[in-house]
Amino acid sequence: MNKVLQLGMVFALLGACDVQSTLADKPRISVGSKAFTESVVLGELICHLARDQGAVADHRAELGGTQFLWQAMVTGDIDVYVDYTGTIREELLAEVIKSGVEIRSEADMREALAKMHVRMSDRLGFNNTYALGMRDATAEKLGIKMISDLRDHPELKFAFSDEFMERKDGWRPLAEKYKLPQKRVRTMDHNLAYRGLEHDAIQLTDLYTTDAEIEFYKLRTLEDDQGYFPTYYAVMLMRDDLEQRAPEIVKSILRLENLIQPASIVSMTAKVRLDRQMETNVAAGFLRDELKLDIPLKSTSVSSEWMRVLGRLAKTTYEHLFLVLISLSMAIVVAVPLGIISARNENIGNTVLGVVGVIQTLPSMALLVFMIPLFGLGALPAIAALFFYSLLPIVRNTYTGLTQIPQATRESALVIGLDRRARLRLVELPLALPSIVAGIKTAAVINVGTATIGALIGAGGYGSPILTGIRLSSISLILQGAIPAAVLAIVVQFGFGWIEKRFVSPGLRTQ
Amino acid sequence: MFALQGVSKSFGPIQVLKPTTVEFRAGESTVLIGPSGCGKSTLLRLLVGLVGADGGTIQFEGTTITKANIMQMRQRMGYVIQDGGLFPHLTARANVSLLASHLGWEKKRMDERVEELAELTRLPRLALDRYPVQMSGGQRQRVGIMRALMLDPSVLLLDEPMGALDPLVRFDLQEDLRKIFRTLRKTAIMVTHDMGEAAFFGDRVMMFGEGEIVQEGRLEDLIQHPSNEYVSRFINAQRLPGVQS
C-alpha cells in the first residue's frame, strides 16, 4: 500500500524537477510553490541551487494556497518555499498578532516565525504588490516617475480592475492620500486595460509589480513615494531543521537573497507566460547569467505535441483513477456496514447519518487543509478527502434500501427460519442492492469530479492540467483535464448501468 | 401440537389478547374467525414467534417456545400470509427452496421436492422460473404455500391466505388447498374473517371477539347455538349480504 502511494506521489510531481537519484547518501530537499507562474519559477530556482550542491530536490509545484504550503511545511512534507511579507503578516501570523504580539518590522516577523520553527530569509529582492503603471513612452514624455508626479496631469484617463476600485487599499484612499485630481476614472477588465494603454485610450492602470505584461507592453511602474501600498517582499520560508540536515544546501539556496531584481522576475514570468518556455529552463537561464551556474537545459522538442498530449493524458488518467478507485473502494468497505448498522439501530443510525451528512457539507478546500497535517501532501490526503465525501451517498442509500423493505417480506424471511446473518445475506442485502448500487454510483460520479481538486495538494490527476492551464491562460491545457474528467464521469455512469444489469435481480428490475 | 397456557399480549395500552388457554391438536384443522382487531392474527403471530407473549407459555410439540429455540422450531412450521409474502428478487423455485438450500440440501433433492410441490399445488411448471412480479396473484399464493410446505412441516399456519385474491381464483385455490390438507393430513391453523371459508376448511372454528375466544366448536354448533348475542350478530352479518344478492 505504502509503496503504491509513494509511486502515486512520484507520478504526481509536477513541473520539471526530476528525482534524479534516490541514493541514500544524497541530501534530499522538498520545495513547494503556489499555483501561479512566479511562484513556480521561484521553486525551480531553489531546486536548481539545491541540486548544484548535490541534493535530490523534489518540486511540489502548484499547490493550492498559502494554508496548504504552510501546513505541508509544518508537517515536514516540504522544507522550503517562497512567500511574501504581506501574506506572512496577514495570514501566517494573524493569530500571533491577535494574541497581542506587535509585528512592526521584518525582524519582528523573523522572530515570531522562529518560535514556530520556521526560518525566514532576507528579501529575494523584489516586491510583488499593487502598483500603478503607464506606458514607458508616455511617462517619459510627461516626466512621470512617481505617483506624486500624477498631480500635475489632471487630464490623464485612468482605468482600474474591479477589485482595485473596491479594495480598502485601492483607488479611492490612494487618490485621497496622494491628492490626485483625475476625474476620468473607470472600471475595466485587466486585459482590456492593457490594450487601452497600447492605443492611448487610457494612460494608467493598476498592476501587480511583477506582472509579465509589464515587460510585454513596455510599461513603467510608478514609484510609491509615499509608501501607500503594503509591501509584499518575496522571502524564503524554510524549516529550521534544514540547516542541521543540509547546511551546504541552505547556504546554496540563500544565494537567492537580494539576487532577483524586479525586472528579472518580470522577465522570467514573461518568458513562461508569453513565450511559453519551461519554468525550469527560464530559472536555469537566470542562474547562468547571475551566478555562472552551468545547468543543462531541458529539451522541449523531443516529442511531437501529440505525443506530449497523449503522455499527459495517460499519466493524469492513471493518477485520477488511482485517487477515485482507492477512495471509492475504501468508502464502500466502510459505508455499507455503517448503513447496515444504522438500519438496525435507530439511535446509531441517526448519529451516523448526522455525522456523514455534516462531513458532506465541509468545503473541499477546508477538508484538504485538515487532511494535510494528518497525511501530508500528494495522493494520500486527497484519497482521504474523497473517501469522506463518498460516505454519505453510500451510507444513506444502504440505510434507505434496507429500511424500505416491506414488513411482510422481512417477516417472511424470519418465519421460514433463517437466522440473522442468513436473512441479511440472502434476503435483505439483495433487496437493498439496487439502492446501494445507486448510492455507489452517485459517490463515484461526485468522486470523479471532486478528484480534480487533488491537484491543489500535489495528487495529480485531471486537475493538474486544469490548474496549469488556468495559470498559463491555456485553453488547450484546461480542456486536456476537463474533457477526460467529463468522459470518465460518463463512463462511470455506463459502467454502473452494466453492474446493475449484472448483479441486481431481474425480479427487482421489471417492476 | 400447540398448547397455550394463559397467553396474553398488549400493544401499548390495548390488550389485543386476553390471557388465553387453548390447545391445537395434531391432525386437526382449526379456523380462527372474527372481525379485524379481535386478536386472531396476533394469536397466529404468537405461535410462530413474530411477536412475543407478555405472559403465559406456548408449547410446541411438547417443548416450551423460547427466544433461543424459536428459530429451530420455525423450520417445522409452515407459515403462509396474504399474497404469499414472496421474496421479489428470487424466482418461484428459489423462493421455495431458499431455506433448504441454506440448510445445504443437494440440488437434486431440492428439484425433486419442488416438482412434487408444484404438482400438489397445481402450479404451472413454467411459473417456476418466473419472478413474483411476473406471476398472477393466485400463482404467487400457490408458491407461498409451496414454500411453507418445502421442509414438510408438522403444522401449517395460514394468515388470511385468500385475502388478496379475486373470487374466481379464490374459489379454485380454496378447492386445491382443501385437497392439500386432506392429502397431507397436516395440522392447520387458518385465520380468516370469511364464514364461507371457515365452513369450508375448519374441523373446528374459534370465534374471536375483543381479545378473547368467545365460542369454539364445529361451525354448525356456532350457527345453531350461538353462545351470545355477539356470535349470532357476526354470523348473521356475514350471511345476510349473501341472501340479499
Does position A11 have pLDDT exceeding 50, yes or no? no
Q: Which residue has the higher pLDDT, A440 or B35?
A: A440
**pTM: predicted TM-score of the whole model, two decimal places:** 0.78
Predicted confidence (pLDDT) per residue in A453-507, tens digit:
899 998 999 999 998 888 787 888 999 999 999 999 999 999 999 999 899 998 8
Set of chain B residues whose Cβ sits within 8 Å of the Cβ of A416: 74-75, 79, 98-99, 147-148
Task: Return the residue in A407, A409, A416, A423 with the most chain B beta carbons within 10 A, the one to mutate for interface testing.
Answer: A416
Q: Which residue has the higher pLDDT, A305 or A49?
A: A49
Q: Single out the residue of B114, B104, B179, B123 nearest to residue B149, CA to CA.
A: B114
What number is the average pLDDT over the span A292-302? 79
Q: How far is the C-alpha of B144 from the C-alpha of B150, rounded, in Å?
A: 10
A482 close contact with B: CB closer than 8 A: no
Selecting from A409, A422, A510 the residue whose C-beta is nearest the C-beta of B87 gives: A409
Residue A193, pLDDT score: 87
Set of chain A residues whose Cβ sits within 8 Å of the Cβ of B87: 409, 412-413, 427, 431
What number is the average pLDDT over the span B33-60? 88
Selecting from A418, A427, A511 the residue whose C-beta is nearest the C-beta of B133 gives: A511
Q: How far is the C-alpha of A461 from the C-alpha of A11, rounded, in Å?
A: 10
Residue B243, pLDDT score: 43
At B241, the pLDDT band (50, 70, 90 cuts) reads very low
What number is the average pLDDT over the span A114-142? 94
Predicted confidence (pLDDT) per residue in A376-412, tens digit:
888 999 999 999 999 999 999 999 999 999 988 999 9
Set of chain A residues whose Cβ sits within 8 Å of the Cβ of B81: 408, 411-412
At A15, the pLDDT band (50, 70, 90 cuts) reads very low
Q: What residue of B is the nearest CA neighbor of A421?
A: B102
The answer to whether the Cβ–Cβ distance between A416 and B72 falls below 8 Å is no
Residue A422 Cα, gap to closest chain B Cα (Å) = 8
At A365, the pLDDT band (50, 70, 90 cuts) reads confident
What number is the average pLDDT over the span B103-125? 93
Residue B239, pLDDT score: 56
Q: Single out the residue of A406, A491, A483, A485 nearest to residue A449, CA to CA.
A: A485
Does position A447 have pLDDT exceeding 70, yes or no? yes
Q: How far is the C-alpha of A212 from the C-alpha of A271, rounded, in Å?
A: 8
At B167, the pLDDT band (50, 70, 90 cuts) reads confident
ipTM of predicted complex:
0.86
What number is the average pLDDT over the span A285-306? 83
Mean pLDDT of chain A: 89
Instruction: Report whether B31 contacts B190 (CB < 8 A).
Output: yes
Residue A444 Cα, gap to closest chain B Cα (Å) = 25
Residue A195, pLDDT score: 84
Contacts with B150 (C-beta within 8 Å, 6 or more apart), sequence order? B78, B96, B97, B99, B100, B113, B114, B117
Predicted confidence (pLDDT) per residue in A159-185, tens digit:
998 878 887 778 999 999 999 999 889
A506 close contact with B: CB closer than 8 A: yes
Set of chain B residues whose Cβ sits within 8 Å of the Cβ of A409: 85, 87-88
Selecting from B77, B83, B89 the residue whose C-beta is nearest the C-beta of A505 gives: B89
Instruction: Report whether A221 contacts A207 (CB < 8 A).
Output: yes
